[in-house]
Amino acid sequence: MRVLLRFVLFGSIAMALYPLHGRADPPAVNAEVKAKANSYVSQGLAAQEAGDYDTAIDRYSKAYQLTQHPVLLFNIAQAHRLAGRFDQALALYQKYLDEDPGGTQAKTARELVAELKARKADEARKADEARKADEARKTDEARKADDARKAEQARAEETRNAEATRQLAAPGLVSMAPPVGPAESSAPASGRSLRLAGLTTGAVGVVALGIGVGFGLHALSIESELSTTGVEYTRAREAEGERANKIAIGGYISGGVLVAAGATLYWLGYHRDHREQALTFAPVVSEHLTGLVVSGSLP
């Protein structure tokens, strides 16, 4: 490449003295101007070989101002291309072809024009692909953030429901209504106390059933979601669905027992005023047991 450039550069000065076919003749060049132009070309060549492309371009441009020879445009374009300034190089190659389409470097110039245009098209394609990839990445990040937000909301809802269930079924025996002992059986208001206890117990049972229904619907919703959702967080949602199903079953059982106990207490209270009974009733819920404790004896 250096040999070729040297031939082009020094040949351009010699050719500047002769008319070129297919274009206007260059201005007359006297010996003094020719010597000065040759000096600029020599300086430009030395700078280009040293990698100082800006100095080379400056010297070639000064030589072109003196001789107006088109091949110097080709040399300036070459220096721009070697410096990585492809847009400037492309414009100068095209200018050279416009001024001297049949010149000694026309074939090379056309090949380089085609190469640079292909490079620009490839860079534009890569930039477009990078832009699309960045947009896809941002869309994916937004989707993941939305999924994380929904999962956090689901966990918060599960925590609230679990707390409500734990309050209904704390470890150890928890009396849901005050026991009604024999001492109260002879009192005038004993039947009313039993009815109130029955209503309270039944209301708690209805709440437990409601919680069971709520968790049951939540479990069904998760099951439906898992049938159409990808595998990214399927295991976590499956575990969430199983917990919701267990809580729902517990709510159904405890709610049913408490409603039945409340109805029994209400019925006994209703009849207590007409018949004394030495019985004590106390609905209880524990971690492993839900039921109604009956103590005492019938008269």
Secondary structure (3-state) at 18: coil
Is residue 212 within 8 Å of 250, Cβ to Cβ?
yes
DSSP state of 245: H
Q: What is the mean pLDDT of residues 210-216?
A: 84
**295, β-bridge pairs:** 280
Which pair of structure tokens corresponds to residue 43? 């300086």
Q: Half-sphere exposure of 216 toward its Cβ, with a 13 Å CA cutoff? A: 12
State the Cα–Cα distance between residues 251 and 289, nearest whole angstrom: 13
Q: What is the share, in percent, of the chain residues with pLDDT greater than 90?
A: 38
State the Cα–Cα distance between residues 210 and 223, nearest whole angstrom: 20
Give residue-wise pLDDT tens across range 129-169. Answer: 999 999 999 999 999 999 999 999 999 998 989 888 887 76
Name the burial class of residue 249, with classes exposed (0-12), middle (13-18) and buried (19+) by CB atoms within 10 angstroms of its CB. middle
Secondary structure (3-state) at 51: coil
State the Cα–Cα distance between residues 134 and 260, nearest whole angstrom: 62
State the Cα–Cα distance between residues 80 and 86, nearest whole angstrom: 7
- Which residue bears the tokens 């979601």? 225
Where is pLDDT greater, at 72 or 185? 72
Lowest mean pLDDT among 130-134, 180-184, 189-193, 225-229: 180-184
In the prediction, which pLDDT does 233 show? 58
Q: What is the mean pLDDT of residues 104-115?
A: 94
Where is pLDDT greater, at 172 or 274? 274
Q: Which CATH architecture has domain 2-119?
A: Alpha Horseshoe (1.25)
pLDDT band at 19 (very low <50, low <70, confident <90, very high): very low
Q: Where in the chain is the domain with CATH 1.25.40.10?
A: 2-119
